[in-house]
Structure 1
Amino acid sequence: MGLTTVLVAAAGFAPADRWDGELPFYGQAVDWQPCFTPEELAAAEDTEGDPDWTSRLECGTVTVPVNHGDPEGGTIDMAVVRHPAQGPAEQRRGSLVFDFGGPGVPGVERMRSGPLPLSRQTRASFDLVSFDPRGVGESAGFTCPRWRAMRAPLEALRNLGAQEVTDARLRELDKAAEAYARSCVEEVGEEFLANTGTVNVVRDLDILRDALGDRRLNYVGFSYGTRIGALYAEMFAENTRALVLDGAMQIERDVIADGVEQSGGVRAAWETFVDYCLERAPECPFTDAAQATAETEAILSGVAADPVVLEEGGVGRHELLVLLRESLYTEHRWENAARLLARLAAGDTGDDFVRGYLEGALAPRGGESGSEESAFTAVRCADHTNPTDPREYREGARRAADLSPLFGGDQVWSLLPCAHWPVTEVVPTGVSAPMAPPILVVGTRGDPATPYAWARELADQLASATLFTYEGGGHTAYAGGRSCVDRVVDAYLLYGEVPPAGSSCPGEF
């Protein structure tokens, strides 16, 4: 038998594999079954907003090859979930597929956890579908045995600036990163890791589109999901109807640049939060924007010297920084985050609000399995060119700390295992999707995870894309309670209406 490929000339890679002229993984039909047994449904709590959501969910699998270049090799049963459209037959428009980000976030579990906050018309018109990408959750998810290897060395660096990391400390951290990467290879093998990158997730997504019975794909990708959507537009333009790319990721720079630029996004998000605190928060500890970082450092120094003691342990500088960074992801949390800082600045560490907020925010969130972290590392390393000299990561951490002095260079240090990763199929450069229909890119001005500059860049890069801006903060904007954003995205998904270039919504919180 001979393997032939259909090439995308602009990118020089194969979107799908033909074996003797056939597409062997196409033509499947999902055998949908209820996601929950009657006993599980009886024991489940009602889901807020839609008590019947859980009972309507249907689960199944779609088979995809581990290596799209070897269709006769190993396979993965890719887990999928569907909430059927609730409208009459004449209103239905096929499937709307979601990827919720990560990489490493299981889409099936997200759908099982409760209703998606979408408009009634969207839920009436589309089967809402999600999936666990390869290597994630129920789609051959895995855990690298040494996924915790870098925690202790990174903790030792916690109170050091990147410029203070000596060669000896760097060797210790690099040794831990190598152990982490090696354990991943030992767990699932080099071939599996070589095929975890987004180009292969995109090939899987087109097989899923076909199995759903949709001639063209309707898709919403959040954060990392925007990378999937952008490459889908490049590789499968003829199979595309509507792509919403919310919280855009950059596609083409190396893994260190990726981490550095994310640190710049954290700083922009912090500045957006500071503006909110000064202008609208009921309680705020800041004198003005220019003094906010120094005043926060004073608060951090205070809890470092005198940690807040809770049942779960003490809350010191690091724990408070983690909490602040996480709060930047969701505007709903900003009022309480500002109140917390104000009361800590006033020395009210025994205040009922302070203790209650910290206990809720820092409560254990279930056992750590390491699977999401392992998939995150595998995809990030597969999707970028990876410098192999640890000194380049140290320099990147220094640049990141310069961009975001408050939160430092952790974004770069966490990617050091990529220096020891096996060879993978790297995401192609020059992606512009010239043949794709109109694409909607949504960017949030104060996004802490995917900088707004990336949304502008992706909208410029994709030939048919239009950028719509949410002028507030938080990570991603659609289906998050921002009515102005939801109206624009729904009009695009339902009717193909693209907003005028330069359109935006003001912050709503």
Structure 2
Amino acid sequence: MGAAGAALALIVTAGFAPLDEQDLARSFYGQHIDWRPCLSPEELAEAEPVEGDPDWRARLECGTVTVPVDHGDPGGRTIETAVVRHPAQGPADQRRGSLVFNFGGPGRAGVAQFESGPLPVSRRIRDSFDLVSFDPRGVGESAGFTCPEWDAMERPLEEIAGLEPDRVGPDQLRDLERTAHRFTWSCVDEVGTEFLANMGTVNVVRDLDLVRDALGDERLTYVGFSYGTYVGALYAEMFAENTRALVLDGALQNQRGVIADGVEQSEGAQRAWEAFVSYCLEKAPECPFTGAEEAPAEAEALLAGIDADPIVVQNTRIDRHEMLALLRDSLYTERQWESDARLLARIVEGDTQDPFVQAYLGSFVAGQRDDRGATQSAFTAVQCADHARPGGIRAYQEGAQRAARVSPFFGGDEIWSYLPCASWPDTELAPGGLSAPMAPPLLVVGTRADPATPYAWSEELADQLTTATLLTYEGGGHTAYAGGRACVDGVVDAYLLDGVVPATGASCPGEL
């Protein structure tokens, strides 16, 4: 039976498991990680140099922690969770254990993130903690997978790109539904219903507690970005007694269903775009807009011109669809806003062969060549596992209409990408209404003009978690910690190192 027609299973805690299952589950605790260099001498010699710390990669150590696929059936299949660490650099008497990072997604691999270069954290943090991350189940080296039909929806989505959702016709709806179904069942064929049923965050959290134990830490110190905030909040709910300090930066809201969350994300992206336009008009050296009231029409004219005459970069055509994707992605990094404004200004001037334009768009094209299949597969699997989800395509069409109303610049196209959830296998849902009343003080960080996780979600999570305090960054970009913002980094470091919680209403000024 599909997800739409079945009551979704609720979490079953260890307290309700038969005694023999409890004992078997406990057998996964007490593991010791066999650390080894992540990269061989040959791989280190061939790797591109990294800025700031040329020996970073040489110090990285990798290992695994064994976890059950189904924590409710600990005698069944297991997988190896890949773990990476950068040892603390300070004197032994100053070290405080591990600081575990989750970089979001879902679908972001922690091992690859560490291997890409040094984490931009302060010297005190690097001296005091072993910096640690892991690949969540189904991601990267932790039984990562790619659904063979992960790109099945790309063609029908391109055909309706920019089209008002209520103008998508019956044939197009059938095509979307058919290709979404192909995506779903190619995932089932690839890894099976049992694995997909256990891809949800509730099991990532259980895995994380096994990782904490294997690291030798009595309690968890953790930084979660974006989706990682949900991992952290759920950990505080399920394992409060094992929690030391959790930073939840760019809060994700998972309590309202996949469509409702998508609509609210679209609204957040619109607010971030409007913040960018304000920056462009007030501060950018080059800006294509003449005023706040004129900007919507001027932006639409710019996109229409690109659609009529796409820009060719590295044999790739950049049309309206790709430009919107670039702009939405670049809003994630506040320090790119000046370059975005320059890019748009020069396109409006008709100088698409300008070296800056070609180089900037070229970097975007190169980024699109990464392994999107594995990322998209894991992202969809977790989104569908974590959310309540309707089974009929009309609900997604109505959601796309709502998204288009709250985000006139970006439109509602993103909602269609959640359509595979309509036919997703039944999964275990995590408990709702998280409050973690027994957790120690927690720190939520919210960015006022966050394009991916709206600031309102950080406010909501801080209110929801009994012991949480909210720190507001009054600028833009997606997440704020470890991004070179001295005020934010100072407050978060004080919390991680010494448990100092900021005052209620604490904020840091924007830096643009």
Give the TM-score normalised by the residue count of structure 1.
Answer: 0.96
Residues 343/318 of structure 1: CA separation in 2 closer, same or farther (3 Å cut): same
In 1, Cα distance between equivalents of 2:14 and 2:133: 21
In 2, Cα distance between equivalents of 1:508 and 1:266: 19
In 2, Cα distance between equivalents of 1:119 and 1:227: 25
- What is the Cα deviation at residue 411 of structure 1? 2.4
1:339 aligns with 2:356: no
Aligned to 1:499: 502
- Partner AA of 1:35 in structure 2: C
Aligned to 2:364: 361
In 2, Cα distance between equivalents of 1:245 and 1:141: 25
Cα deviation, 1:23-63, whole Å, max 9, x if unaligned, reads: 11000010001111122222223321111111100000000
In 1, Cα distance between equivalents of 2:47 and 2:347: 39
1:179 aligns with 2:182: yes
Aligned to 2:20: 19
Aligned to 1:486: 489
- What is the Cα deviation at residue 118 of structure 1? 0.4
Q: Please point out which of 381, 388, 392 is paired with 1:389.
A: 392
Give yes or no for contact 2:11–2:430 (8 Å, CA) kept in 1.
no
Residues 365/160 of structure 1: CA separation in 2 closer, same or farther (3 Å cut): closer
Aligned to 1:3: none
- Partner AA of 2:126 in structure 1: R
- Partner AA of 1:335 in structure 2: E
Residues 418/39 of structure 1: CA separation in 2 closer, same or farther (3 Å cut): same
1:297 aligns with 2:296: no
| Long gaps (5+) in structure 2 | 1-9
Task: Please show how residues 310-329 of structure 1 align to structure 2 within 5 Å.
Answer: 310-329=313-332
1:147 aligns with 2:150: yes
In 1, Cα distance between equivalents of 2:272 and 2:392: 31
SS at match of 1:290: coil
| Long gaps (5+) in structure 1 | 1-10
- What is the Cα deviation at residue 365 of structure 1? 4.9
Cα deviation, 1:89-135, whole Å, max 9, x if unaligned, reads: 11000000000000011111101111000000000000000000001
Residues 349/41 of structure 1: CA separation in 2 closer, same or farther (3 Å cut): closer
Residues 200/83 of structure 1: CA separation in 2 closer, same or farther (3 Å cut): same
1:284 aligns with 2:287: yes
In 1, Cα distance between equivalents of 2:270 and 2:145: 33
Task: Please show how residues 98-247 of structure 1 align to structure 2 within 5 Å.
Answer: 98-247=101-250
- What is the Cα deviation at residue 344 of structure 1? 1.7
| Higher mean displacement: 65-74 or 280-289 | 280-289
Cα deviation, 1:341-387, whole Å, max 9, x if unaligned, reads: 11222222233322232223323554535111100000000001110
Residues 171/49 of structure 1: CA separation in 2 closer, same or farther (3 Å cut): same
Give yes or no for contact 1:252–1:427 (8 Å, CA) kept in 2.
no
Aligned to 1:4: none
Residues 268/490 of structure 1: CA separation in 2 closer, same or farther (3 Å cut): same
- What is the Cα deviation at residue 291 of structure 1? 2.1
SS at match of 1:260: helix
1:309 aligns with 2:312: yes
Identity in percent? 67
Superposed CA RMSD in Å reads 1.4
SS at match of 1:227: helix
Aligned to 2:412: 409
1:456 aligns with 2:459: yes
SS at match of 1:218: strand
Give yes or no for contact 1:308–1:315 (8 Å, CA) kept in 2.
yes
In 2, Cα distance between equivalents of 1:66 and 1:260: 32
Residues 97/468 of structure 1: CA separation in 2 closer, same or farther (3 Å cut): same
In 2, Cα distance between equivalents of 1:504 and 1:367: 36
Give yes or no for contact 1:243–1:439 (8 Å, CA) kept in 2.
yes
In 2, Cα distance between equivalents of 1:384 and 1:81: 29
Give the TM-score normalised by the residue count of structure 2.
Answer: 0.95
- Partner AA of 2:507 in structure 1: S
In 1, Cα distance between equivalents of 2:220 and 2:445: 18
Residues 112/495 of structure 1: CA separation in 2 closer, same or farther (3 Å cut): same
Aligned to 2:78: 75
Aligned to 2:474: 471
Aligned to 1:40: 43
Task: Please show how residues 408-447 of structure 1 align to structure 2 within 5 Å.
Answer: 408-447=411-450
- What is the Cα deviation at residue 287 of structure 1? 1.9
SS at match of 1:175: helix
Give yes or no for contact 1:262–1:411 (8 Å, CA) kept in 2.
no
- What is the Cα deviation at residue 308 of structure 1? 2.1
- Partner AA of 2:420 in structure 1: P
1:266 aligns with 2:265: no
Aligned to 1:61: 64
In 2, Cα distance between equivalents of 1:15 and 1:336: 52
SS at match of 1:281: coil
User: How many corresponding residue pairs?
Assistant: 499
- Partner AA of 2:184 in structure 1: A
- What is the Cα deviation at residue 260 of structure 1? 0.6
- Partner AA of 1:305 in structure 2: A
- Partner AA of 1:384 in structure 2: H
Residues 258/294 of structure 1: CA separation in 2 closer, same or farther (3 Å cut): same
Residues 159/132 of structure 1: CA separation in 2 closer, same or farther (3 Å cut): same
Q: Please point out which of 234, 252, 276 is paired with 1:249.
A: 252
Give yes or no for contact 2:316–2:365 (8 Å, CA) kept in 1.
no
